[in-house]
Structures are given as C-alpha cells and as structure tokens.
Amino acid sequence: MIKYHPDHNQLLQFARGEAEPAWALLIAAHVDMCPHCQDELDSITEKLSEQLLPEASLATTDISFDSMMFDIMKLEPIETETVIPEKHFLEWEGRQFELPRALRRVATKTESWTKLVGKLWQAPVDLGDMGKGHFIYMEKGGSVPEHTHRGNELTLVINGEFEDGHRCYDTGDFILMNQDNTHMPVSNHDDGCLVFSFVDQPLHFTSGLARLLNPFSHLFFK
C-alpha cells in the first residue's frame, strides 16, 4: 500500500510545469503508480484549466472547444522518422521488474549492473543535462550504509519493501530526504527491493568504515 506521496505544492509545481526536471520525472513515475495522486493531479489540472480558460472567455470565442477537437480529429496523423524507444521491464539476475510509464524511456539508457557492497547493486541511468539517476537493488538483507545528504535525495520504490530505521516503505512510495535526515536503508523483504533514486549532491556516510568512502561517494551515488 502506497503511504508516502509528493505533497500538494509539489504536485502543483508539476502540473504548472515548474518542477525541476528530475523532480518532474520522479513525480510523474509516482503518479503512474498511485491512483490517489492521479486523482489529486486531475483536480489540480482542472482548477488550473479553469483559471486559464474561464467560462466567460469560452462563451465569447468564435470557435467552440467541441468544434476545435472535431477539426483536430479530422487531421491526418503526422508521421515521424524518430521513434523514442521504451523499456517496459528492468532485468536483474534473470528477474524482470515492470517499470512505471515515466521511467520507460530513460531506462533505455541504463548502464550495466555493478555490485557495490554486500547485497547492494546499482545500475546508473544517463539523464542527460540532469546528470545520472540510479536503479538500486537491495537483495534480502542488503543495505545502504548509514548516511545523510548534502542536497536532496529523491527515491521511488519500484518493487518490494525497505525500511531505514524510521519508516517502512512499500512499492510506489515517493521519498524525499535532505540534510535534515540520517538513515540506513535496508530490505528484509523476501524478494528484496528495487528503487529508482536521484541525488543532486553526493551522500555523506556517517558511521563505521563507510565514512572512509566519503571522498569517493560521488562515484557511487552522484
């Protein structure tokens, strides 16, 4: 069950087209998976449309919306030479994970899986000007060492469950962490956990030997 969502202001920025590209990508992917946020986004979009196209202006226009749509539907489809590929599933060790629609195009730019520490795996994704996102898979018992953040960390749970010492997260949950948060994600789910994550600054590890990784953390999660 999805428990964690973008807040109203984040959805409003997304609907207005004002969200940062990485935020927009993660929010769109969450909305693909979350009926609650689909309904809220529909409501926001409807209100924005009413503000942009008040009934008074529609009543005085020479072209009705219905007639405009009728004319559009009569147009011949435009043929394009470039077809943007999509990847509906992500594979790890013979398993397939279905991706939300918003991640299917960027998933075609996924690099090979590499093992990090313990039962933790990572596959970077080239997001162009945004930098890199990461698919991260935690096998059962796998964990990310305790860390805080110099910037924002956006995470969407694609499949499975994990906890971080504060909360438990399930498939579809949207998670925002920043410099006010310190946590250690770990999955004890029988099937592990697959997430998609984006950080705008390298992680800062806070305990044990993992602190030795701080000079190199930009190589792993940034």
Domain total for the chain?
1
**CATH code of the domain covering residue 76:** 2.60.120.10
DSSP, collapsed to helix, strand or coil, labels residue 25 as: helix
The per-residue pLDDT for range 23-66, each reduced to its tens digit, is 999 999 999 999 999 999 999 999 998 887 765 454 444 445 45
The per-residue pLDDT for range 113-166, each reduced to its tens digit, is 999 878 999 999 999 888 889 999 999 999 888 888 788 999 999 999 999 988
Q: Is 102 exposed, middle or buried (0-12, 13-18, 19+ CB in 10 A)?
A: buried
Domain that holds residue 6: 1-222
Pairing type for strands 168-169 and 162-163 reads antiparallel
Amino acid, res. 94: G
Q: For 212, left (φ over 0), alpha (ψ -120 to 50), or beta?
A: alpha
Separation CA 85–CA 104 (nearest Å): 8
| pTM to 2 decimal places | 0.80
In the chain, pLDDT over 70 holds for what percent of residues? 79
Which has the closest alpha carbon to 121: 220, 219, 217, 205? 220
**Among 67-81, 104-118, 141-155, 182-196, whose mean pLDDT is lowest?**
67-81
User: In Å, how far are 45, 62, 63 from 68, measured between CA atoms?
Assistant: 20, 10, 7
Separation CA 78–CA 15 (nearest Å): 27
